[in-house]
Amino acid sequence: QVQLAESGGGLVQAGGSLRLSCAASGRIFSIDSMGWYRQAPGKQHELVAIFTSGGSTNYADSVKGRFTISRDSARNTVYLQMNSLIPEDTAVYSCYVESSDSTYWGQGTQVTVSS
């Protein structure tokens, strides 16, 4: 069983920063891709930043230049550094790991940006 443990969410003022972490544990044979999605109230689930199976990164246009995804492969951990946060970034952020046998999701962490 694979589990994803997220941390780092919280309340921050506009212009501030937060760093999210997501550590995967359990029997993971290989990781094809991993990253972050978010869902704001009344909006669709959307990609924020991911590592693709080829190792490159993809970012949502709305976060380019402000968010940075990184990872520690030895620890099966992915990070999301979020700078210059704006109220529109308020959402539940969820990490995922896509392995050879399945896709796993964390339970999500709330990020709230006040104006």
Q: Which pLDDT tens digit goes with each residue over 35-92?
A: 999 999 999 999 999 999 888 999 999 999 999 999 998 888 999 999 999 999 999 9
pLDDT at site 36: 98
**Could you write out the DSSP letters of every residue in the chain?**
--EEEEE--EEEETT--EEEEEEEES----EEEEEEEEE-TTS--EEEEEE-TTS-EEE-GGGTTTEEEEEEGGGTEEEEEE-S--GGG-EEEEEEEEESS-EEE---EEEEEE-
